[in-house]
Structure 1
Amino acid sequence: MNTHPGSELDISIIDALQLNPRADWAELAGALCHSPKTLARKWSALSERGLAWIAIGPGPAFVRYGCAAFLVVNCRPHAKREVAAALIAEAAVVSVSATSGEADFLVDAFAPSLDDLSQLLSERIETIDGIVSVTTLVALATYREGSRWRVQALDLQQSALLTRPQAGAPRRSGPSLDDLDRLLLEALSRDGRQPWTDLADRCGTSGPTARRRVGKMIDSGRIALRCEGATALVGPIVPTTFMISVPPDEVNRVGEVLGRIPKCRVLEAITGPSNMLLTMWFRSTAEIAPFESALARELPSLVIADRFVSLRTYKRGGHILDAEGRSTALIPLASIFSGRIDRAAAGATGALSSKAGTEV
């Protein structure tokens, strides 16, 4: 069964850019067997329709530089529409999903520090009218994040041609970001594939400097670029989050094992009753039970305490999504890397709240 509703070339472009988000079209042309002009035209059409985009977000080492947390949010039954709109409008709230089970929403939040996270929770999240409770699970270590997930449309030879060399894990945190770094992040969040010269012009610097600065932020693990595709294009996705517990001395081993699973989207060591959070992107709910059975066989010390199936994702990586997963608006994430966390721009907040209110 073909689970990809998009054309073969569309999906191949998505996969290629998941391997190398800023590869130029000439570089992709050889692997995809199409001219650079054809690939550029295809990508432009996908982007304009909100079917695909390059997102910028926290990288695999973000916890060295800031604070990442997963929020389990419960609210009054008739307040879900308003709560969803308020959560979506928060710039520090990167992703929002309505879920099955005891949680109404699962939220990914990022902040420059624990103090900023505390302020976000006490002044902006917990005060939202309609919220009953918020359980905060702070990320301690990242074993896999979203930029490594792929639609897997390319064969091994094509993948090998486009795979970027992996930078070694930095032994220490990099320097703090300055104003130029923040300008570059802001511009990249709006168009992750804009040419270096255009990016430099927007930020008042040179092309080589822009490329070097962005490269350092990516290599340090502070940020990650990733290509996202709407479900209307890449096919059905059933994000399923498992709260799991393993013996403390096995966390790293389990993290390495689970992090290699192709359908793994996110894997973190966390605080709370369960010490790991795992999000898998299945094609259907029929895959969940066999996966749990396989976990029990392969990792007998692992215990699944709870699982949440995403019923609808409203926001991912700062992008506001419609019912078919298309990007309809963006709240840039630059503030989560700076010394403060800002609300969404006033004009955008009202529009997003209105949009979310009509769709929740």
Structure 2
Amino acid sequence: MSTTVTVDLDQRIVAALQLNGRASWKQVAAAVGATESTVARRGQQLLDSGRVRVTGLLDHLRCGLGISLQVRLRSRPGAATAVATALAALPATRFVTVVAGSADVCAEFVVPDHREVTAVLVEGLPRPDDIVETETMVVVRKFSASEEWDPGLLDAAAVALLRPGAAAPDHREWHEPERLTAQEFAIAELLAADGRASYSQLAAAVGVSDSTVARRVESLLRRGCLRFRALFDTRLLGLDVEFLQWFTVEPAALERAGAQLAALASTRYVSATTGRFDLCLHGVLPGYGDLYHYMTDVVGALPGVRAADLTLQARTLKQARVRVDGPTEERR
């Protein structure tokens, strides 16, 4: 009995950290309905064990730091893991996963601009002899990002407590970049390594007062430059199937289809892209038995979809620039 209760509480703590990675243990306790001492102990164990990590992310589009490329790769038989491992070691990759389906490896690259695509994907790919084919799509619009995902384990009151007055970030305005100061970049680097670092820890590292750090962080959040994300295996929440789905959509229906997908609890990320596919989606479901109904009921209800290609994530090596299959990668 105690094991079941502990697992359930852990799931609720993880869900709370996904909603607000910097929430205090007092806030988390109020949201999950447990004592602060218990939540602090269990939550810290999750963090110390590495099962959950919190990282601060600069929005590279909004901050003018680069553009995203969604890349699908096919490899020689048996070489997918080696290719993915080599890709995960590149500073330019933000996300890398081995998949089952029409591709073998999928990755997200961040490059300064579209002129760098050739340098990265032609000259910079590791293990070129193991790669049979690559397909590159440029992200031109995000409908939702992984840090915005609500796993749906907590009720509306808990969500409101953890995300008070939260509004969905406006992903349309990335073409008008914000200009960050050297001090803001320094703070962001520290939060990338530890998204739950206290203001006093950040202030000591940067050499300014706690209040100055607090103002800088709040400014970055308000401007949509900085977001916090919890990194964890979704199986911790009882969600056993992670997948990437690629859609070909009629141009007139693209906005409606993207917005409809972004509103789903199963969607962690969805963006509009150039190339053969018009939408790229990262999704999660409880089990394999849910896939058929997802493909028929959810995908079947989307406007303007001409084709849909689903690939199952078999092993994810990198998320949000963090190596999740080994030691943390040093950030740029």
Using the size of structure 2 for normalisation, the TM-score is: 0.87
Aligned counterpart, 2:55: 55
Aligned counterpart, 1:92: 92
**Deviation at residue 5 of structure 1 after TM alignment:** 9.9
Aligned counterpart, 2:71: 71
Task: Give the AA of the match of 1:110.
Answer: V
Aligned-partner Cα distance in 2 for 1:112–1:161: 37
Checking the alignment, whether the CA contact within 8 Å between 1:71 and 1:136 is kept in structure 2 is yes
Aligned-partner Cα distance in 1 for 2:129–2:117: 19
* Worse-matched range after superposition: 140-149 or 230-239: 230-239
Checking the alignment, whether the CA contact within 8 Å between 2:139 and 2:274 is kept in structure 1 is yes
Aligned counterpart, 2:327: 329
Q: Could you say if the C-alpha distance between residues 5 and 120 of structure 1 is closer, same or farther in structure 2, counting changes exceeding 3 Å?
A: farther
Task: Give the AA of the match of 1:32.
Answer: V
Q: Could you say if the C-alpha distance between residues 209 and 303 of structure 1 is closer, same or farther in structure 2, counting changes exceeding 3 Å?
A: farther
Checking the alignment, whether the CA contact within 8 Å between 2:242 and 2:313 is kept in structure 1 is yes
Aligned counterpart, 1:293: 296
* Worse-matched range after superposition: 290-299 or 242-251: 290-299
Checking the alignment, whether the CA contact within 8 Å between 1:60 and 1:144 is kept in structure 2 is no
Task: Give the AA of the match of 1:202.
Answer: A
SS of the equivalent of 1:106 reads: strand
> Would you say 1:212 and 2:215 are equivalent positions?
yes
Checking the alignment, whether the CA contact within 8 Å between 1:143 and 1:267 is kept in structure 2 is yes
Checking the alignment, whether the CA contact within 8 Å between 1:14 and 1:228 is kept in structure 2 is no
**Deviation at residue 182 of structure 1 after TM alignment:** 2.4
Checking the alignment, whether the CA contact within 8 Å between 1:149 and 1:265 is kept in structure 2 is yes
> Would you say 1:37 and 2:47 are equivalent positions?
no
Q: Could you say if the C-alpha distance between residues 206 and 63 of structure 1 is closer, same or farther in structure 2, counting changes exceeding 3 Å?
A: closer
SS of the equivalent of 2:275 reads: coil
Aligned-partner Cα distance in 2 for 1:314–1:240: 14
**Deviation at residue 242 of structure 1 after TM alignment:** 1.7
Aligned counterpart, 1:234: 237
**Runs (5+) with no aligned partner, structure 1:** 323-327, 336-360
Q: Percent identity?
A: 26
Identify which of 175, 180, 187 aligns with 2:190: 187
Counterparts of residues 1-360 of structure 1 (less than 5 Å): 7-57=7-57, 59=59, 62=62, 66-125=66-125, 128-167=128-167, 169=170, 173-231=176-234, 233-295=236-298, 297-322=300-325, 328-333=326-331, 335=332
* Worse-matched range after superposition: 184-193 or 135-144: 184-193
Q: Could you say if the C-alpha distance between residues 244 and 63 of structure 1 is closer, same or farther in structure 2, counting changes exceeding 3 Å?
A: farther
SS of the equivalent of 2:87 reads: helix
Q: Could you say if the C-alpha distance between residues 237 and 254 of structure 1 is closer, same or farther in structure 2, counting changes exceeding 3 Å?
A: same
Q: Aligned pairs, how many?
A: 326
Deviations 1:135-156, CA, capped at 9 Å, x for gaps:
1111000001101223322222
SS of the equivalent of 1:7 reads: helix
* Worse-matched range after superposition: 201-210 or 261-270: 201-210
Aligned-partner Cα distance in 2 for 1:124–1:179: 29
Aligned-partner Cα distance in 1 for 2:284–2:278: 20
Checking the alignment, whether the CA contact within 8 Å between 2:257 and 2:304 is kept in structure 1 is no
Aligned-partner Cα distance in 1 for 2:33–2:297: 38
Aligned-partner Cα distance in 2 for 1:118–1:5: 52
Aligned-partner Cα distance in 2 for 1:64–1:185: 15
SS of the equivalent of 1:77 reads: coil
Q: Could you say if the C-alpha distance between residues 201 and 9 of structure 1 is closer, same or farther in structure 2, counting changes exceeding 3 Å?
A: same
Aligned-partner Cα distance in 2 for 1:257–1:151: 17
Using the size of structure 1 for normalisation, the TM-score is: 0.81
Q: Could you say if the C-alpha distance between residues 291 and 230 of structure 1 is closer, same or farther in structure 2, counting changes exceeding 3 Å?
A: closer
Q: Could you say if the C-alpha distance between residues 128 and 36 of structure 1 is closer, same or farther in structure 2, counting changes exceeding 3 Å?
A: farther
Task: Give the AA of the match of 2:18.
Answer: Q
**Runs (5+) with no aligned partner, structure 2:** none
Checking the alignment, whether the CA contact within 8 Å between 1:76 and 1:132 is kept in structure 2 is yes
Task: Give the AA of the match of 1:137.
Answer: M
Checking the alignment, whether the CA contact within 8 Å between 1:61 and 1:221 is kept in structure 2 is no
SS of the equivalent of 2:327 reads: strand
Q: RMSD value over aligned CA atoms?
A: 2.6
Q: Could you say if the C-alpha distance between residues 286 and 66 of structure 1 is closer, same or farther in structure 2, counting changes exceeding 3 Å?
A: same
Aligned-partner Cα distance in 1 for 2:188–2:8: 32
**Deviation at residue 251 of structure 1 after TM alignment:** 1.4
* Worse-matched range after superposition: 111-120 or 149-158: 111-120
Checking the alignment, whether the CA contact within 8 Å between 1:61 and 1:142 is kept in structure 2 is no
Q: Could you say if the C-alpha distance between residues 122 and 32 of structure 1 is closer, same or farther in structure 2, counting changes exceeding 3 Å?
A: same
SS of the equivalent of 1:140 reads: strand
Aligned-partner Cα distance in 1 for 2:303–2:191: 43
SS of the equivalent of 1:21 reads: coil
* Worse-matched range after superposition: 41-50 or 26-35: 26-35
Aligned counterpart, 1:340: none
